[in-house]
């Protein structure tokens, strides 16, 4: 089991709870919240493998809270039923990704995280167009392509997690032809399904550091509830969050790729 040498206490609690809170809100709207929580964990001096594992505590609690906070409408229940077909590829992919992540060396994993952060930064700066379509009720969704897409997304989620919400939305909207609103509901369930096997693997690996992970989980749970109930409906929520994420990702990239950049 990994023993963290950081002194966690005092102001670390509000810092990590606050970071988890913000990540919970962001993940409710779309994704990329792990860019914040992974950055916080990496700044403590944790190895990338340990930070990646510890981050899963907050993700587990955040996805569960988002799911149970959904309004129990007839439409929601129908969508959740439709999503069951995606469970198997998502779970299989998650297991494969998590098994790879716990075996890869820290230096390589940190570089991979940095590369994905650069890609996410690019999407934020370029502001891709929103997918404003209605759900196509006649669309056949149980296709080999959608199965493969969910397996790949599950693998990526088990491996790193960061940006998984946006990837799920892209697959559900652009390939499965759900509306963005419907896709977001399905995404919340699939994200929870994905994290369960990955969390078990990281738990068994002994790489989780509990105190910062619990602090992130507290904040992420509150943020997920708050985001589901209130922030989701604010007209400028996505704009504000975009600016925050750009700053956070740049900060993280400096940490990863600039050895002389000290915190």
Which SS3 state, helix, strand or coil, does residue 243 take?
Answer: helix
DSSP code at position 70? S
Residue 262 domain flag:
no
Residue 158 and residue 96 in contact, taking contact as beta carbons nearer than 8 Å: yes
Q: What confidence category does residue 128 fall into, taking pLDDT thresholds of 50, 70 and 90?
A: low
- If one compares 16 and 171, the residue with the highest pLDDT of the two is 16
Structure tokens at 10: 């005092």
Residues of the domain holding 96 = 12-256
176-228 pLDDT tens trace: 888 777 888 888 889 999 999 999 999 999 999 999 999 999 999 999 999 88
Q: Which H/E stretch holds residue 151?
A: helix 144-159
Residue 4 domain flag:
no
Structure tokens at 217: 């989980």
Residue 261 domain flag:
no
34-75 pLDDT tens trace: 888 998 998 888 888 999 999 999 999 999 998 888 777 788
Please provide the distance, in angstroms rounded to a whole number, between the alpha carbons at the two ends of the chain: 26
Residue 2 domain flag:
no
Q: How many independent structural domains does the chain possess?
A: 1
Residue 234 domain flag:
yes
Residue 5 domain flag:
no
Residue 109 domain flag:
yes
Residue 53 domain flag:
yes
């Amino acid at each position: 089991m990994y023993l963290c040498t950081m002194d966690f206490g005092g102001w670390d609690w509000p810092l990590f709870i606050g970071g988890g809170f913000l990540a919970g809100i962001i993940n409710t709207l779309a994704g990329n919240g792990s860019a914040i929580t992974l950055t916080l964990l990496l700044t403590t001096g944790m190895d990338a493998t340990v930070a990646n594992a510890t981050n899963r505590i907050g993700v587990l609690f955040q996805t569960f809270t988002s799911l149970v906070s959904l309004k129990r409408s007839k439409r929601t229940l129908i969508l959740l039923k439709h999503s069951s077909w995606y469970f198997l590829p998502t779970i299989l992919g998650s297991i494969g990704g998590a098994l790879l992540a716990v075996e890869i060396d820290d230096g390589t994993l940190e570089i991979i995280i940095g590369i994905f952060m650069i890609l996410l930064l690019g999407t934020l700066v370029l502001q891709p167009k929103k997918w404003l379509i209605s759900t196509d009720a006649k669309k056949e969704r149980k296709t080999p392509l959608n199965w493969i897409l969910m397996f790949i997304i599950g693998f990526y989620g088990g491996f790193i997690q960061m940006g998984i919400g946006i990837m799920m939305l892209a697959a559900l909207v652009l390939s499965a032809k759900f509306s963005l609103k419907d896709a977001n509901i399905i995404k919340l369930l699939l994200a929870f399904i994905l994290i369960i096997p990955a969390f078990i693997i990281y738990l068994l690996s002994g790489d989780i550091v509990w105190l910062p992970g619990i602090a992130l989980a507290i904040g992420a749970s509150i943020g997920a509830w708050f985001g589901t109930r209130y922030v989701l409906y604010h007209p400028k929520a996505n704009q504000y969050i975009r600016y925050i994420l750009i700053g956070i990702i740049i900060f993280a990239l400096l940490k990863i790729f600039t050895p002389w950049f000290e915190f």
